Structure 1
Amino acid sequence: MADLRRFCRDQAIGPDQLWAWPIERLGKALGWPARCLRAVDRYRCEQGIEPNLDVPACALLPGDPAWPSCLDGVDSSPSGLYVEGDRLLLRRLNAREAIAVVGTRSASDHGLAMAEDLGRALAEAGWPVLSGLAEGIDAAAHHGCLISNGSPIAILGTPLDRVYPAHHRSLQQQVAEQGLLVSTTRSGSRVYPGHFATRNRWLVTFAKALVVVECPQRSGALISARWASRMHCPVWVVPGDARRWSCRGSNALLRDRATALIHSEDLVRCLGDGPLKPDDSHGMNQQLMGAIGAGASVDQLVLRLQCSPAELASELLALECKGELLCESGLHWRKRRP
């Protein structure tokens, strides 16, 4: 919308005048993709010649600086997004730096516990946790992320002004306050079953990896897994009880070369630290420089900082490489003089 406002200002016209432009002229002037122009044309036909052109603050359109460009290369991508919460997380979606956790609404106790543990472990490692805010596995993953003060991101199958299921109102509000809500449907619109299936596709589009915790043979999570395969997004699956109906779909994915996930730590170890992981090295460096003072030996520093020699050695070497410290004879360290 920022680009659209700028264009109106540069052309010294108002939105009402721009509304009346032929679609071909709009396309040449704005450079929008054909799918977006078709959506605009349909919307103009619906609204008539005197529409309400007030654009909600939550709307995000192609061309806006915050628009996730990863959507532009996807067939039938949304003509707009509606967001609530921390918009800085849109950068993580654009860079596919979030981990999607999905599964059935009717999960076992084991599945719910595993989803919550995944949400917690990923949040602690600095990864945004992406899910659909549905009953069951989605909600458990979001809960785990919230408990660890992480950044949950919910891709909704409903507009922002709808809560489904209704008893998730508090959870949806918490995700909006601590993370981000994203919908492809404007407020006031009707909700169709197809919206939820499409939601599963956008989850994968934004994800670095997909984790299927538990799902039956007919499940939206399997739709996400199929999209992940097409988009070359790694798929991890939590093995479930072979006798339980709600695990048959996810267990079948293991035959399709998905990676089995036994412990949350295995996934975190493979992924490494996420983009939101705090950098603790700066604080450690400050403590180390303060402990050195006018100069100190390794033994003295170990006592002052109450750390292991191995941990200390790596920090000393890093600061020496940066040119901030000098190592003298007898492993005596001092600050480099200006």
Structure 2
Amino acid sequence: MAFHELRRQQFLGEETYKHEHQDCSDGIHNIEIIISKAVEDSDLDYASNRASFQALLRFQRLVLKYTAGEPIEPLRTELEEVVAAYERYGEYLWKYTGDRNTFVFEFSSIDDYCQLMQLIGLCFLLHRRDLLSRIAALQDGENGANGGADNLYEEFMSHGLGAETRYESDWIFASKPYQSLSDALYSETNNDALKNIDCFLKRWYKDLAGTGWHDAHIEQAGYYGYWSFEAGAAVLLLGIEDDSSLHKYLYYPKHLVAWAKENAQRFPDGGMTSPKTTRLNVHAGQPCPEAGWWFTPAQANSCRYFKQGENMPSLGGDYGLTFWQWSPDQSVPTL
């Protein structure tokens, strides 16, 4: 099929897709070099800043692929790489601030809030609920110190992690447009829920005019796709079978919702088909859970190959406790 037949939004041209995809990939690689130098210079402020941007580029590349009509299933693995990149940013950020209660996604920032909801939505739609606990760790703070900061966030996490693990909240930082989506999750009937989701989507693009990506399609620069993945997640969680009334909204991810419904039996626990693909951070002194390339933010140029069962070493230094992360690039070291 031709590109214009595969793409999921008409704003994306084939040449623009190739250019933006290459820009994201080049940026991810080049920023890695910058981060390494910043860590060498003990400039954790700059390292965290660049790590944040690198994670954003990974997220944008994932969204771009979906917009271009790329197959959906490979995005499940790519989503984990995005989360791992934000975990890495979080470690730099917390070391710099000296406070592990610092939010990785600032609820008070409309860009951060929107992206956080999109990430959470993708976890449900791509059947990667196993990643929700890792996202929660970026926001909840030590011993749940930040729990209950936002109602919509808590409601989504309650669906994914269990209400008994979450916190009460009656505050939504971005009530425009997200209050209607929260109302949908509390609706007594699916008919009422659909009305609330429709209301949410009707205002979604207009009310997010303050984001950095708004109207990016006009200049064809920095446009990766406009998607309310969180609306799709709500439809999935509420068990709404007929969502055709929402298809009129360009940014409603109808293809992803359909894929999620069709593949629910393949991923009944919301996780990956193989436990090997879920790779948590491994602290120094623990055995390597899977053979491959791993890196640690504790030291620049640290990417190295470990055999399964091999002890993960402590590198010491000024960074703090050494933990190892699976490298997204298994062909060559990224650090």
| TM-score for the superposition, normalised by structure 1 | 0.23
Q: Give the structure with the larger strand fraction.
A: 1
User: TM-score normalized by structure 2?
Assistant: 0.23
Larger helix percent: 2
Higher relative contact order (CA 8 A, sep 6+): 2
